Structure 1
Amino acid sequence: MNAKIDNYDQKILGLLQQDARISHAEIGRQIHLSQPSVSERIKRLESSGVIRGYHANINPDAFGYQITAMIRLSTQQGRPYADFVATQPEIIDCYTVTGEDGAVMRVLATDVAHLQRLIDKLNRYGSTSTAIVLTTHVAGKAVSMPVA
């Protein structure tokens, strides 16, 4: 991806990250561009892969999830955990990482027993270490240009 992102694009991306349902006309009003200009910029950002999609932010409580946990999975080389985690709805993020752990994942569970069942399944792929999230200080922060 080699998209040039100027100040207008940065403002558009910031507004879309705050509210993906904001109209192109409203974006134009806020950043002082015409609606057609905003629409063209958004199309370019989408086609270049800068904007990868638009998503609803769902409250896990609505599905009965009372626990958020981070699970580290130490795996032996070649263990196929990736296929398994992709099929589990409770595993909402999974990253292959450097260091002693092969993967770090964020999971949701309805209760401790549900979390234990998920950990038991993951233990087939290696050893796990689990931390239950008590408080979230930052989540879903908007992506912006690096400050150098």
Structure 2
Amino acid sequence: MSGTDPQLDTVDHGILHLLQKDARNNTTREIGEAVGVSAGTVRNRIEKLEDAGVIRGYVPDINYEKAGYQLEILFTCTAVDPSEALAEDILDKHGVVTVRKLLAGEENYHVTVVGTDTDDVSEIANSIRDCGLEIVRSEVLDEEYIQPFNHFGKEVSQNED
């Protein structure tokens, strides 16, 4: 597994599946038992997956409402000049959680923001516009449901419920 295009095997897929399910509470020993290898092998594989850029990071799943941010908004936007620098500028703005740059279409950015109230969200929207985005529409998010990508080893991890 070297370079930018690592060849992943079933053990790697199983490790990725279990990390996506719960990276914080799955120990390397538990992952190893589930995919049929030692804890040391799991540690080595994870390090290689990180070095190859397959695993980009570990992010907590935050309940923003419980953290004091009652509003979670998805802005669908258009950028005349989409670039990596633009995405980074948007991410630097207060309240911005994610920026998704789309490959095609006029509405080429999805920006998720959190705010305490409508005034806060309005200020965030203005800061996004100041970056050069036109906000086409905004939608209040209720719930987001996430699961591990099913092609990454659910069948390999033997201890799945």
Match of 2:143 in 1: 136
Identity of aligned residues (%): 26
Report the AA paired with residue 17 of structure 1: Q
The 1:10/1:87 distance shift into structure 2, 3 A limit, reads same
- Please give the residue correspondences for 1:1-148 in structure 2 after superposition, counting only pairs within 5 Å: 1-21=4-24, 22-77=26-81, 81-97=86-102, 98-124=104-130, 125-139=132-146, 141-145=147-151
**Structure 1: how far apart are the matches of 2:39 and 2:97?**
35
Q: CA deviation at 1:102?
A: 4.0
Q: CA deviation at 1:83?
A: 5.0
Higher relative contact order by CA 8 Å / sep ≥ 6: 1 or 2? Answer: 2
| TM-score normalised to structure 2 length | 0.75
The 1:126/1:25 distance shift into structure 2, 3 A limit, reads closer
> Aligned-pair RMSD on alpha carbons?
2.5
Q: CA deviation at 1:25?
A: 1.0
Q: CA deviation at 1:13?
A: 0.9
**Alpha carbons 2:79, 2:108 under 8 Å: kept:** yes
Could you give the per-residue CA deviations for residues 16-46 of structure 1, whole angstroms, max 9, x where no partner exists? 1112122111111222212222222222212
2:7 is paired with a residue whose SS is: coil
The 1:81/1:110 distance shift into structure 2, 3 A limit, reads same
Q: CA deviation at 1:69?
A: 1.0
Q: CA deviation at 1:92?
A: 1.0
Report the AA paired with residue 45 of structure 2: R
Report the AA paired with residue 37 of structure 1: T
| TM-score normalised to structure 1 length | 0.81
**Alpha carbons 1:73, 1:103 under 8 Å: kept:** yes
Q: CA deviation at 1:112?
A: 1.3
**Alpha carbons 1:20, 1:55 under 8 Å: kept:** no
**Structure 2: how far apart are the matches of 1:78 and 1:136?**
28
1:84 is paired with a residue whose SS is: helix
5+ residue gaps, structure 2: 153-161
Q: CA deviation at 1:71?
A: 1.0
